[in-house]
Amino acid sequence: MKIHIFGASASGVTTLGRALAAELNIPYFDTDSYFWEQTALPFTVKREPTLRNTLLSNNLAPHPSWILGGSIVSWGQQEWMQFDLVVFLYIPHSIRMARLHHRELERYGNHIFEDPIRRQLYHDFVTWASGYDDNSTKGRTLAVHEAWLQQQSCPILELRGDLSVAQRIESIKHKLSSIS
């Protein structure tokens, strides 16, 4: 079973992906681990796309089943993109942005307010993430995600609303039982 879960930043992709992986006893892979180089200042240096795709492909290859979390809409067509199920998460803008602010504060503490570089990175990230719903940001937007969904040939499950992780897992398990 190859499951892809994606949505806007702070929509709950990683939380759900890890919980579902534990429930199904299969590995979880997060696209951020491949998209970004590991640097002292995280999420600032993008990995070269060919290397990114090769690394992910090599990590997925040994596993007959896995969950991939995160947006890959601009990653080209790769052989590992043959999903059995795609899960799209959408939560209302105000809830998502509150989660995003909380997550960033939890990750970086007051550095996002006190350190000038970290403050600018935080501001730029929040500005970018806030444009998802009205499609005013560059790159990952609701319109881009919905268009990508239309191109998929595998079953799709859209989970819209502020659902709990348990509710989301039950919906996915129900969907999986109907396609197995």
CATH of the domain at 169: 3.40.50.300
Establish if 32 belongs to a structural domain.
Answer: yes
Specify if 124 maps to a domain.
no
Strand, helix or coil for residue 110: coil
**This model's pTM is above 0.95:** no
| 128 found inside a domain | no
What's the confidence (pLDDT) of residue 137? 86
Q: Which domain holds residue 24?
A: 2-91+139-179
In a domain, 143, yes or no: yes
pLDDT at 138: 83
**Gap between the Cα atoms of 155 and 101, Å rounded:** 33
Total structural domains in the chain? 1
**pLDDT band at 174, cuts 50/70/90?**
very high
Q: What is the pLDDT of residues 2-25, one digit of tens each?
A: 999 999 999 999 999 999 999 999
| Cβ 16 vs Cβ 169: under 8 Å | yes
Q: Is the model's pLDDT at 76 over the cut of 90? A: no
Q: Is residue 34 part of a domain?
A: yes
**CB hemisphere CA count around 69 (13 angstroms):** 22
